[in-house]
Amino acid sequence: MATLRFTFGTMGSGKSTQVLQIHHNLRARGLTTVLTTQLDRSEGRVSSRLGVSAEAELVEASTDLFELVRQRAATLGSVDAVICDEAQFYDSVQCEQLARVVDELRIDVFAFGLLTTFQGRMFPGSARLMELADERTEIQVEARCWCGERATQNARFVDGVQVVSGQLKVVGDTGGPVAGEVTYDLLCRSHWMEGANAARGDQLELLDDDVARPGDHPDRSGPVEVDPDAVPNPLHVTPPVEAASHSGVSS
């Protein structure tokens, strides 16, 4: 019985190392594998921090994974397992294609990926794999936040400051923040949220500055001085109670 396994973890939890380990183990037993990955900088290789690497099929947005595996099976005679790195970047349809590889081609699929983005949300691909997988396993690595708590959240930094907006896929190095670069680090939930809330606050401030262009509306920074002589006469007689609320109805 073929199975769809989804193994997830944070950045730096050793997903690629496990991908390469499974790939190596199966090949050592004479089995045929298809290895896939999906990050631009990978250039068709899966490589681990520990210095091992292997050639991989680069999955693009247009790649039909079911067709890819079916073709490889036809060319190679058979395929025993498909091992997918960076599966969080596969789209929902591609994750469904992996399920079809299991159900229709009877080939085991080992998918590995991050669970959540730097914005603290599930990657669409990972969400679909969680929904579809026969087995779901979290890689437990005792990564620590700088405060000493267990680090469970992926954080992105620009110029050393945590951000929560931007493209999902921006290549950077894991490790401590480096000025002028996009970097990633692992934080505990509490410190991740602290940084994320600060980043959201900065965004709101930017938005506010943008809206409050001079001339758009009265200056709100201090008391508004009104020269009574400059106010048109009728306003002194009839208070403008309903005037504003009816003005926009016809537009």
Binding segment (CB under 5 A) for Zn ion, from list 49-57, 71-79, 109-117, 141-149: 141-149
Question: Which residue's CB comes closest to Zn ion?
Answer: 145
Choose between 99 and 188: whose C-beta lies nearer to Zn ion.
188
Q: Is 145 in the site for Zn ion (CB under 5 A)?
A: yes
Q: Is 147 in the site for Zn ion (CB under 5 A)?
A: yes
189: number of Cβ within 10 Å? 14
Choose between 155 and 158: whose C-beta lies nearer to Zn ion.
155
Q: Who's near 116: CB < 8 A, 6+ residues apart?
A: 122, 123, 126, 153, 154
Output the CA–CA distances (angstroms, integers) from residue 179 to 157, 158, 160, 184, in the order listed. 9, 7, 5, 12
Q: Is 193 in the site for Zn ion (CB under 5 A)?
A: no
Binding residues for Zn ion, rule CB under 5 A, total: 5
Q: Is 191 in the site for Zn ion (CB under 5 A)?
A: yes
> What residues form DSSP beta bridges with 58?
37
Q: Could you say which of 43, 57, 67, 86 is catalytic?
A: 86
Choose between 10 and 47: whose C-beta lies nearer to Zn ion.
10
CA–CA gap between residue 112 and residue 24 (Å, rounded): 16
Could you confirm whether 205 is annotated as catalytic? no
By the 8 A CB rule, do 37 and 166 touch?
Answer: no
Output the CA–CA distances (angstroms, integers) from residue 203 to 93, 190, 208, 216, in the order listed. 33, 20, 9, 20
Choose between 68 and 145: whose C-beta lies nearer to Zn ion.
145
**Catalytically annotated residues:** 86
Binding site for Zn ion (CB under 5 A): 145, 147, 149, 188, 191
